[in-house]
Amino acid sequence: MASLDGLIEIFLQPGDLFVATPGYQIRTILGSCVSMTLWHPATGTGGMSHFLLPTRGTAVKEQEWDGRYGDEALQMMLSQLRSLGISPAQCQAKIFGGGNMFPDHMRDGVINVGMRNGQAARELLQQHGIRLVSESLYGVGHRQIVFDVSKGDVWVHQVRPSQATLPVA
């Protein structure tokens, strides 16, 4: 589907990722999941992931990589960027998400999955020598994300959960 400004829109579901040349706009909605965007300023090429968990914890072969896991999603994006002639070290990264969707159900001393996802994204990018230029992590509620691959711009709208109102009897 084309957007009003002529960009082709792609919507990522959990576990999806998309790498593209200029002319694309990638959208997603994040709760405790995290998206990493990678963008190459000289070419306007970039990609975005939407992962659910930091890692599956076991080594798998490249053909078995799964975008639901942050470490594998990043490997998949890096592989696709390299196939387009892009050096990942020349990319800029932005990360988003990791929201606490159930703040009233937290136990003291327990790190929630959103926090683990955000921490993992930072560490993964650092391990691969990719410069993190911006982030919008944590907090309460979900985020709507829009990434303009041509310009490297990412728009974020965080939506806090509303208090349920009970009907008066």
Residue 12 pLDDT greater than 80, yes or no: yes
Query: What is residue 166's predicted lDDT score, i.e. its pLDDT?
Result: 43
Strands 131-137 and 45-49: unpaired
The string of pLDDT tens digits covering residues 22-76 is 999 999 999 999 999 999 999 999 999 999 999 998 888 888 999 999 999 999 9
- Asked if 10 and 27 count as a contact pair (C-beta separation under 8 A), the reply is yes
What is the predicted pLDDT for the residue at 1? 56
Give me the pLDDT at residue 144, please: 96
Q: Looking at per-residue confidence, does 2 or 169 come out higher? A: 2
Please report the pLDDT score of residue 35 as a whole number. 98
Q: What does the alpha-carbon distance between residue 167 and residue 90 come to, in Å, rounded to a whole number?
A: 55
Distances (CA, A) of 53 to 47, 66, 103, 127, 168: 19, 11, 19, 18, 40
Beta strands in the chain (DSSP E): 8-11, 17-20, 24-30, 34-40, 45-49, 92-97, 131-137, 142-148, 153-159
Is 168's pLDDT higher than 60?
Answer: no
Q: How sure is the predictor about 4, in pLDDT bands with cuts at 50, 70 and 90? A: low
Q: Can you tell me which residue has the tokens 């490997």?
A: 75
At 83-125, the pLDDT tens digits run: 999 999 999 999 999 998 766 665 655 568 899 999 999 999 9
Residue 79 banded pLDDT, cuts 50, 70, 90: very high
Ordered by where they begin, the domains of the chain are: 8-159 (3.30.1330.200)
pLDDT at 140: 87
* Gap between the Cα atoms of 148 and 117, Å rounded: 23
